[in-house]
Structure 1
Amino acid sequence: MELDAGRLRILVEVAHAGSIAEAARKLSFTPSALSQQLSKLEKELGTRLLDRTAAGVVPTTVGAILVEHGERVLGELREARAAVKAAMEEQPQRLALGTFATAGEVLVPGALAALERQYPQAELSLVDVEPPGGYGLVTSGDLDLLITHRYPGVPSVPCPGLDRRQLLVDPLRVALPVGHRLTTQEVALADLADDRWISGAPGMPNRTCLSTLAVRANLELRVAYETADYHLILELVGAGLGIALVPQSLLAGVDRARVRIHQLGDAAPAREICLVHRRRPPALVRDLIALLRVSADRLNDAT
């Protein structure tokens, strides 16, 4: 049995999009044409590859296995095309970067602007990707570089065939409203057990981190307000509605008249910001990595 690379690509795109209609838009096909190709692929394999739900489509167990292999196949094909262009002295001039919002805010703008000056003819693009997503997009070549993170207590995502390297260690600080009873530079989690906390919803990385710290300290913490937006979290803290763990990289512009920043002395938690890319990245990707490291160094110096 020989798999058709075109149909494999369609399966991967549909799995990434979570929707046949969205994948059809991206590939410039009609949804019915994509459905027909997927049906042919399922018939060839003799098994269902996608489950249709009210929210869209998700791969079956067999489908997920084929998607994982398909991502690697597509990535290799794209890498082969880039190598041929380089051999013909046509340097690849495309770079797709995926990043989560807070890294995009503090690390990316200066680095992308510098890269654009260095490669004025390059086609640069940016996509929002919330961790732990994005690894499959790098494997398939839809993304050339991914900025992602890992909080304490959150399992590391396997990344066979990819390089993952640390860009920044971003300490998590305790944000307290001005007027809070604790005033020492370092505070202990046990001293904050009776406070109302502000964090992400269950399953979000910052909430998992907070829960992990609480379990380690044998504490139960009460999360009164749930949001993934750190800017809103700081506003809620400033309004006296609770306390929060906030990455140090986002604290440069915090209103110190309303919010005080403290170290969590007994745990010293930090999130790790990483870069993920395919092995043997082209010059465009290597240069962006170097520029992102400059941004990270400047951020460390500023904080």
Structure 2
Amino acid sequence: MALDADRLRVLVEVAHAGSIAAAAARLGFTPSAVSQQLAKLEREVGAPLVERGRAGTRLTGPGRVLLEHGERVLGELRAAEQAVRAAAGAGPQRIAVGAFSTAARTLLPRALAALKRERPGIRISLVDIEPPDGYGLVAARELDLLLTHRYPGVSLPPARGLRRRLLLRDPLRLVLPRDHRLASAPEIALADLADEDWVSGAPGMPNRICLESLGPLHVAYETRDYEVTLALVAAGLGVSFVPASLVVGHPGVVLRDLRGRSPVREVHVVHPPRPSAPAVELLERLRPEEVR
């Protein structure tokens, strides 16, 4: 029996939304209708696909396998629809981009503004997506491009048929208060900061994994926001590693290099094998020189 594409879409939406209620809102269905479609799909494949709980839904092993295929199937259908509409000259052009917060602030605004000038009628959408999420949205063509990152000590997810290219190497610089005892040192050994309070993300976050891979350092302040990190350092409450692209010209801190090889954050762009014409143009504009 051939699988029903509409039911595959329901499974994909439930997986992406995280709950039946949220998926129903996105699809314009009732939660009961979504549950019925899932039940029919489970009967078709002969296996449970979704586990329901108070915190939402979680895919089973067979559900995760079918999700990967379903995302690709929906992606191909959406690509076909977009190609036909473009050939017929129907409807406005669109581009949907996902990006982590610092990339959305530093890399995308000028590139998107330039694309808007070149294509005045284009409709642009941008959503915040923190790594490693977003790959499934690209496979399903809900996103045309995804900006993601990799910190030292963190593995990239499998691309599964998508295209992923390195966009930027962004060194992580030591950030110290201006009156720090080592503020005038050109290079600093990590051992010289062993007794310092550090500012970093919570356990499991990429920048925290990177920091912990360097040695046993004391994290006193946890935040995922680099603006908060810089404010805490400027106030003299600790030290941190921050991507170089985010701290150029900050008045309250000094930047120093780690003796030896400084860690580097990689920024990657992910897109389908055959990106849309607007996505290709945006890719051409997202080619910054390496931050030093």
1:251 corresponds to 2:252: no
> TM-score under structure 2 normalisation?
0.96
2:186 partner letter: Q
Matches within 5 A, 1:20-59: 20-59=20-59
CA distance in 2, matches of 1:150, 1:186: 25
RMSD of aligned alpha carbons: 1.5
- Other-structure match for 2:3: 3
Match of 1:228 among 224, 228, 231: 224
Greater Cα shift, 90-99 or 121-130: 90-99
Match of 2:282 among 256, 265, 288: 288
CA distance in 2, matches of 1:145, 1:227: 27
CA deviation after TM superposition for structure 1 residue 265, in Å: 2.3
1:60 corresponds to 2:56: no
CA distance in 1, matches of 2:225, 2:53: 29
Q: Deviations over 1:81-110 (max 9, x none)?
A: 223234445597111000000010011111
1:187 corresponds to 2:183: no
Assess if the C-alpha contact under 8 Å between 1:10 and 1:34 holds in 2: yes
CA distance in 2, matches of 1:272, 1:191: 26
2:190 partner letter: L
- Other-structure match for 1:141: 141
- Other-structure match for 1:239: 235
Equivalent position SS for 1:113: helix
CA deviation after TM superposition for structure 1 residue 253, in Å: 4.2
Q: Deviations over 1:241-286 (max 9, x none)?
A: 111000001012412xx31111112231110001100012121001
Equivalent position SS for 1:279: coil
1:230 partner letter: Y
- Other-structure match for 2:269: 275
Equivalent position SS for 2:137: helix
- Other-structure match for 1:208: 209
CA deviation after TM superposition for structure 1 residue 76, in Å: 1.1
CA deviation after TM superposition for structure 1 residue 229, in Å: 0.5
Assess if the C-alpha contact under 8 Å between 2:172 and 2:262 holds in 1: yes
CA distance in 2, matches of 1:116, 1:240: 42
> TM-score under structure 1 normalisation?
0.92
Assess if the C-alpha contact under 8 Å between 2:92 and 2:121 holds in 1: no
Aligned residues: 291
CA deviation after TM superposition for structure 1 residue 11, in Å: 0.2
Equivalent position SS for 2:286: helix
CA distance in 2, matches of 1:213, 1:129: 27
CA distance in 2, matches of 1:28, 1:110: 35
CA distance in 2, matches of 1:7, 1:213: 47
Matches within 5 A, 1:9-20: 9-20=9-20
CA distance in 2, matches of 1:229, 1:86: 40
Assess if the C-alpha contact under 8 Å between 2:92 and 2:123 holds in 1: no
CA distance in 2, matches of 1:77, 1:213: 46
- Other-structure match for 2:258: 264
CA distance in 2, matches of 1:191, 1:162: 43
CA distance in 1, matches of 2:228, 2:3: 49
- Other-structure match for 1:171: 171
CA deviation after TM superposition for structure 1 residue 19, in Å: 1.2
Equivalent position SS for 2:157: coil
Runs ≥4 in structure 1, deviation > 6 angstroms?
none
CA distance in 1, matches of 2:5, 2:144: 20
Gapped regions of structure 1 (runs ≥ 5): 215-219
Assess if the C-alpha contact under 8 Å between 2:153 and 2:209 holds in 1: yes
- Other-structure match for 2:118: 118
- Other-structure match for 1:217: none
Assess if the C-alpha contact under 8 Å between 1:176 and 1:261 holds in 2: yes
2:220 partner letter: A
